[in-house]
Structure 1
Amino acid sequence: MKGLNKQKLLAILLAVLMLAGHAFIAPEIVSAENGELQPGEVRTYKTATPVPGMVNTWDIKLRVEGRDKEGPAETTRVVLVIDRSGSMQGTRMTEAKNAAKEFVKEVLKDPNLEVAIVSFSSKYDGNWQYPPSELVTVDRTFTRTLTGDQGLNKAIDDLVASGGTHTQAGILKGKELLDALPATIDNKIMVLLSDGLPTFSYEPLNWDIVEATGTNTSSNRHQWYGIYDGHFDESTVVGTGSTLTQSYDQTLGTRPNWVYITKHINNGSAAIRAASDTKASIGQNNLFTIAVGTDATGTDILRQIASQNRAYSTNNPSELEGIYGEIAGIITSQSAVRSAVVTDEMGDGFSVVTDVQIDTFGDGTTELKAPAGTTNQTIKWTFPELKKLVVGTDDIRYAEMTYRIEINPSILDPGIELAEISVDPNHHLYWTNKSTVMTYTNSDDNPDSASFESPKVDPVFLKIKKILTDNQGNLIAGDMIADNLTFDVEIKKSSGGDSANFPHTEALVPNAEDPGYVWLTTLRHEGTYSVEEIGVSSGSLSEYDISYKTDGVDGGTTFEVNHVGNIPRSDIEVEVTNRRNVALVSIGVEKTLSGRPGTSTKTDKFGFVLTGPKLPVDGVKKELTFAGNGTKDFRFDSILFTSIDLGGATTKDFFYTVTEDSSQPIAGITYDENLSRTVTVTLSKDNQGRISAAVDPATVSFTNHYEAEGVEVELGGTKTLENRNKALGDDEFEFALYKSDVDGIEGAHVETVSNVGGIFKFSKLDFDAEGTYYYLIKEVDGGLGWFTYDTKEYLVKVVIADNDEGKLEAAVSYYIYDEEADPPAWVEAEVAAFTNSYLAEGVEVELGGTKTLENRNKALGDDEFEFALYKSD
């Protein structure tokens, strides 16, 4: 409790050591003097000292001081429990023996200490490779005799590796020796060495039973799981000799009432329980383990067997002597701190500088662990005891560890906890560490812990802001700034260099949300730094007037990184302002298209080319697309002018040409008579350096007209003459063409033509517009009685349509009136076909003959004879 009160007092004193601006000055560690610490009392210190010539980098020092325990000499008994299983053969056993003998030699320097030797493997009859072995033996009872036939060295040298690993038996035999000691013995210690998994154990007496579902048979057994509660059958050894666990079948009872079971045992659990019982008997802090060459599982079992902070491991047998030596020092020490483990987690936003050694000055070892989950980078410092005497004292000892830290970008996380909030926001203080805790064995051989107060430090941030305005100095709104526009600002150290972090180029987003600064945590070295804007992601820096403000000073392009009286300077604030001083010229084009019929589905594309200064050699091309008549417009992409384009003048003209592309003319389109137009851009600069541009004309117009080529249509029909032998001659019949309507009403006479043979044709009709036209065709009654004239009328439908390719097309259909239809209607006919019939006038024919009467003198008189006329073939 006294140590804790003094720690609080120290914290208060450190808090007072603040200068104006709340900048923290690292205190010097003042060591305890004789009489300041009580016997067994422990004190911890932790400081952060700025590294000379650097910022954001500190050397952290941890120091532990403790006063040795006072009182009469204590009696100590140590039992060495050594694994002599077959796997210990060779180098492991040789090194283990040598190390054990050195250990014994060292601890026996304490005149009140005695050592016993116990070894274990398994009961083994031996073979050609391994000699016989006993399960567990007491190779030497407690003694101070080191050499000779009854000495400890002889007992160690006589150990022979053979058999399996019955760790439980070794622990229990060592416990048995320690338990047999008189109560007057102050310290009872066990040191266990093993190289592998426990492969044998005593069978448990108690079991956790899971009964089989259904009928218990030899193939459906009850499952018995060993319970390791310190109760076991010492007469029954179980295990395979090669595995940590074992499952084996047994049959209980008598036939026919046999009970079939499978037992499951864990040799590691048996050894851990034996160790637990041992620690309860000899002291929770008095069991040491050494794992040599074990796998991860074996190492973990030995860690669980050991007391807190008393587990050692190595894969190198040659290191056993050092481990035994460390344990010997702990056993014989009167130090206020023994078997210490310091867990030192870095604060949020801080990292260990790995290029600088973590130094313990010979006091133990360290391990740097990477961040995991919510845990930051952590140093684990392990040391066996306090050894070095504080100058001027004879019983106050200390151990120290130093390492270097620096800030990292996570220090900017919004949720970070500040150690102290300063009135000056440039000097807030941050914790260098989250927590630092030491667990150890105190002078009363009990587990204990102590904390270290984390130092508070003042980092220096570099804050950079990008401001973008129009040429009037007004901030440009975010929605008016091109997407992903950034400006490259370079920060470099003017002299000396900083190859790790500088020169550094930061891509800044203009007019970022308030406060708009980008915070950098990369400053490390003192010196002069310069700021320069060197690029932009889109366009050119010549488009802007650039100005700087550094630490509130307009025009400042440099800043100093330093300390004043051991206090770091304030955060650096840099503002880089770009006034957009450009003239954007956009030349417009207006296009009118007329003449396309409303039924047109044609899409017309018209191309335009802009040529002139600051444009590619072949100009800039754009298209307008029309789907029918109308007027459309567009503007060419803006042409950007800067003051450089004036060439030192205050005004200057630039000439551009807009040309409509007619190289691939569209059928039916008549293009504008003036295909090229000139546009003048006048660039000017006012007395404040702001440039502007006038465009004349701002928009050029083109007019195109569409007109389809007309089409001719020839109407006609056929003529057939029946019942005349003579062939139909030309011009025998006439046919008349009349304008009509959809109902076939006769309109104005168009033309009358005669037949030519069996056909007739009217003169071609010219059409120059879309539409549907109707005509009526009739045969002219010529009045000749021997002909029967055809009275049919034919309706002709002529549909004129634009083919969208500059031509009109005609579709002709013929119809005849069907009076028998219900109702009567015009029906389509293939052709206008007229048929006439020929019928000649009648003629009289007189038939007769002569009559001669011969041989009578009387003349032939009338009516004397009759003659008959008959039809014939």
Structure 2
Amino acid sequence: MNKVIRFISKLGLVLIMLLSAFVIGTPENVHALAADPTDSNRVTVDKEAKLVDGKVNTWDITLDVKSLNKQSTETTNVVLVLDVSGSMSNYMNSLKSAASLFVNTFLNDPNVRIGLVTFETNPFLHNAGGSGNRYATTSAQKQTLLTTINNLSTGLWTHTQGGIHDGMLTLDNGPDADNDIMILFSDGEPNRRYSGTDPNYSYPSHINDSTNSSSSSSNAFTAGKHAATLAKNKGYEIFSIGFNVNSTTRTFLQDVSSGAGTHYHAATAGNLGTVFANLAGQISTDYGIENAQVVDIVAPGFTVIGALNATVGTATQVGNTITWNIGRMDGAGIKNATLTYRVEINDSILNVTPDPDGKLYPTNTSAILKDLEKAGFSRTFPVPKVDPVFIKVSKSLVDQDNNTIVDTDRVFDVELKHTSIYTAYTSIKAGQTVILTSLRDIANGYKVTETGSNDGLINDAEFSDYTIKYTINGVVTDLFNVVKSTSVISSMDDILIGIENKYTIPTTSITAEKLWSGGDPASR
């Protein structure tokens, strides 16, 4: 049930209090979040504004995104390029276990064909599917590949450039596929390369040819990046995995990968299985959205307060623009991501034109989701609209006969106060209405007081010549409460405060005493 606010003028008599109760409601745009996606609409979005409990003029904004991920039916060539240099001697069992987990994921999936290249002092292409078969495609061939992985042993140096190059040649000679992917695993700095200088390296003309390999470790990082660039320029996607590497090697592996979401770091041997499993999940999944980004523009009249809270990805704010980088929502089935932040109104809302009914204001100009990997893909979020509570203070001057005094010069000071949570000041002239946007809390005991004038035209003595009458929503009182109600109505009323100053002509008491002189007073 919608929460609403009841405004009650506080009067001395209970009967009058009951007769002067004012209810103000809050249409909060509360509705279900994004509908579940379907095969025909695999990405759905929604947005809501919900009044914060215990508050007015403050809302929690929630953006909701859902994506339907399905089992991929595309054909994919995958080449595992594994570092088996000497530094891996103590970790080979963990690598074998992780790589085997990856292969087992696709054991019965002929759409995923897997090749294997290892590198140490030199690179080496294995017949992943048995004699003469560079790829393992059938279940039987993948069982052969599992045996090959289990029999791997370590060498000496780290020829990363050679491993990447042989991985590229394996993809070059693979069967036609929808996707061509290289997964590069390494635990350390490259220290071997082909002879020559960047970009003129003496690459071998065929796989498993080490004749041009150089023992020099200088510029081995640059050489590895060059080989990766050649592969990526052919449209091949490179995922990289760093195992317990230093910052320099980690940066190198990030550089050779295909960008955001394609580099993984395993801090310990125990993490390797998780990393390879995640990669298998990416390859086997047809994602509803690959690289989601939401741009949400907060409307004039609203200020974001507090943090941006995203369940997936990261969100940042520059000015009135919130950018939520979701990326890919991993996993099978329907996946969900939400962004929540809080807004309150500010004075610039007074310059915004509300809906034709004069009540509702949009909390944002627009919010659009795009898939950065799919040109033309977008979803538009609905625009929540809310009903703020304004305090409107109006001023009038009358003479002792209740005739309006037209006076545009005198300025009166007004204080609105709650003893513990609220103080607001404003200055106002006769005939004016001042609108305040600062009310925030549901509470009892708000009070309005005209404190005087500081314009130099009215001194304290003259101010005392005015009698002051306060009315709040038509009821004579200077007190009001803002409290919860369970009533449901369609709009929210503003708090209307009237302050009338009646000028009274000062009276003077004169006492006279009559004295007679001369003659007999009785005869006069």
**Range of TM-score over shorter length:** 0.5 to 0.7
SS of the residue 1:108 aligns to:
coil
Aligned to 2:424: 506
- Closer/same/farther in 2, CA of residues 199 and 85 from structure 1, 3 Å limit: same
Cα distance in 2 for residues equivalent to 1:449 and 1:319:
37
- Closer/same/farther in 2, CA of residues 97 and 307 from structure 1, 3 Å limit: same
The amino acid that maps onto 1:99 is A
SS of the residue 1:424 aligns to:
coil
Q: Is the 8 A contact 1:272 1:301 kept in 2?
A: no
Cα distance in 2 for residues equivalent to 1:145 and 1:690:
109
Out of 381, 386, 405, the position equivalent to 2:341 is: 405
| TM-fit CA distance, 1:173 | 1.2
Cα deviations across residues 49-74 of structure 1 (Å, max 9, x unaligned)? Answer: 6368576434635243548589xx65
SS of the residue 1:426 aligns to:
coil
Aligned to 1:134: 121
Going by fraction, where is helix more abundant, 1 or 2? 2
Q: Is the 8 A contact 2:33 2:48 kept in 1?
A: no
Q: Is the 8 A contact 1:107 1:331 kept in 2?
A: no
| TM-fit CA distance, 1:515 | 6.1
- Closer/same/farther in 2, CA of residues 528 and 272 from structure 1, 3 Å limit: same
1:333-372 to structure 2, matched below 5 A, reads: 333=285, 335-337=286-288, 339-343=290-294, 345=296, 347-348=298-299, 349=302, 351=304, 358-359=310-311, 366-371=312-317
| TM-fit CA distance, 1:328 | 1.0
| 2:1 counterpart of 1:79 | no
| TM-fit CA distance, 1:422 | 0.9
- Closer/same/farther in 2, CA of residues 74 and 59 from structure 1, 3 Å limit: same
TM-score (norm 2): 0.66
The amino acid that maps onto 2:325 is K
Q: Is the 8 A contact 1:352 1:403 kept in 2?
A: no
| TM-fit CA distance, 1:116 | 2.4
The amino acid that maps onto 2:165 is L
Out of 216, 229, 232, the position equivalent to 1:273 is: 229
1:433-452 to structure 2, matched below 5 A, reads: 434-439=367-372, 447=374, 450-452=377-379
| TM-fit CA distance, 1:548 | 4.3
The amino acid that maps onto 1:427 is L
The amino acid that maps onto 1:463 is F
Out of 162, 168, 172, the position equivalent to 1:169 is: 162
SS of the residue 2:386 aligns to:
coil
Going by fraction, where is strand more abundant, 1 or 2? 1
| 2:31 counterpart of 1:62 | no
The amino acid that maps onto 1:60 is T
| TM-fit CA distance, 1:156 | 6.0
Aligned to 2:267: 316
| 2:44 counterpart of 1:44 | yes
Aligned residues: 450
- Share of identical aligned residues, percent? 16
Cα deviations across residues 62-95 of structure 1 (Å, max 9, x unaligned)? Answer: 243548589xx6554321123456776767x765
Aligned to 1:425: 358
Out of 432, 453, 461, the position equivalent to 2:380 is: 453
- Closer/same/farther in 2, CA of residues 423 and 135 from structure 1, 3 Å limit: same
- Closer/same/farther in 2, CA of residues 107 and 451 from structure 1, 3 Å limit: same
| TM-fit CA distance, 1:277 | 2.8
The amino acid that maps onto 2:184 is L
Aligned to 1:113: 112
Aligned to 1:627: none
| TM-fit CA distance, 1:46 | 1.5
Q: Is the 8 A contact 1:563 1:569 kept in 2?
A: no
Q: Is the 8 A contact 2:123 2:162 kept in 1?
A: yes
| 2:206 counterpart of 1:188 | no
Cα distance in 1 for residues equivalent to 2:150 and 2:431:
76
- Closer/same/farther in 2, CA of residues 552 and 271 from structure 1, 3 Å limit: farther
- Closer/same/farther in 2, CA of residues 402 and 315 from structure 1, 3 Å limit: same
Aligned to 1:614: none
Q: Is the 8 A contact 2:362 2:385 kept in 1?
A: yes
TM-score (norm 1): 0.42
Aligned to 1:259: none
Q: Is the 8 A contact 1:117 1:156 kept in 2?
A: no
SS of the residue 2:114 aligns to:
strand
Out of 344, 359, 380, the position equivalent to 2:325 is: 380
SS of the residue 1:137 aligns to:
strand
- Closer/same/farther in 2, CA of residues 62 and 106 from structure 1, 3 Å limit: same
| 2:524 counterpart of 1:531 | no
Segments of structure 2 that go 5 or more residues without pairing to the other structure are 1-25, 129-134, 204-211, 400-404, 510-524
Aligned to 2:280: 328
Cα distance in 1 for residues equivalent to 2:488 and 2:224:
61
- Closer/same/farther in 2, CA of residues 461 and 104 from structure 1, 3 Å limit: same
Compare CA radii of gyration and give the structure with the larger one: 1
Cα distance in 1 for residues equivalent to 2:251 and 2:294:
19
Out of 132, 143, 152, the position equivalent to 2:146 is: 152
